[in-house]
Chains A and B, each alone.
Chain A
Amino acid sequence: SQQGEEDPQALSIQEGENATMNCSYKTSINNLQWYRQNSGRGLVHLILIRSNEREKHSGRLRVTLDTSKKSSSLLITASRAADTASYFCATDVYNNNDMRFGAGTRLTVKP
């Protein structure tokens, strides 16, 4: 069963703009990971944030986690056409690599 819900389902922006995607989940978690997927290919790991962390950065990516609201956000700054992909959040509830994925946000960055 799906645990996370990404919002919005689809997002279209111009190159250079920032993109923000949100993820909400239902139960307490140990960690949350964000992934990118290009057109039916494998998932690329972006960031892992643990339940005791509030914010992490990696290059143009910024992830926040609010465990009180059971939500996370992924911000991509200065977007590029190559960022066009689907983005998924995945939660590890039982600390056992059984990750629950949301339906994803389809991001389109127009050149």
Chain B
Amino acid sequence: KAGVTQTPRYLIKTRGQQVTLSCSPISGHRSVSWYQQTPGQGLQFLFEYFSETQRNKGNFPGRFSGRQFSNSRSEMNVSTLELGDSALYLCASSLAQGSTEAFFGQGTRLTVV
């Protein structure tokens, strides 16, 4: 069974640009969550999608958005990039909501210059 696949693995963008990251969950998993990891703030929850609907959202500005497609694949978008958005963005896949193991992809390393 293939694991969680995130693309691209590495990305360099300029301030003010926008970026789209992609996550393909484990086959059969319907929940996809996104996290931002930085040295200063650690791992922080961005949002979670289940059955194409955003169910939960963390404390991030509206520049961070996402969506989920009918095949459970998810994308997150960050507009008007800031230097502080440089981070490792991790996607987690779960079978369903609540009390199930969450499996992570390798992440997308975003650098904003």
Contacts and interface: CB of A to CB of B under 8 A. Distances in A.
Q: Do A and B come from one complex?
A: yes
B98 A96 contact: yes
Interface string B26-55: 000001010100000011110010100001
A92 B99 contact: yes
B56 interface: yes
Interface residues of A, number: 28
A88 B90 CA distance: 14
Contact of B45 (A43, A44, A99, A104): A99
Contacts of A33: 101-102
Interface in A67-104: 88, 90, 92, 94-104
A61 to B, nearest CB: 14
Contacts of B99: 30-31, 48, 50, 92, 95
A60 interface: no
Given A1-B59, A97-B31, A104-B42, A42 B105 contact: yes
A17 to B, nearest CB: 27
Interface residues of B, number: 31
B104 A44 contact: yes
Contacts of A35: 104
B66 interface: no
Looking at B6, B59, B103, which has the most chain A CB atoms within 10 Å of its CB?
B103
Given A31-B99, A92-B98, A99-B33, A42 B42 contact: no
Interface of A: 1-2, 30-31, 33, 35, 40-45, 48, 50, 88, 90, 92, 94-104
For the complex of A and B, list the 5 residue pairs with the smallest distance between their C-beta atoms, beginning with the closest.
A95-B98, A101-B43, A42-B106, A43-B104, A42-B104
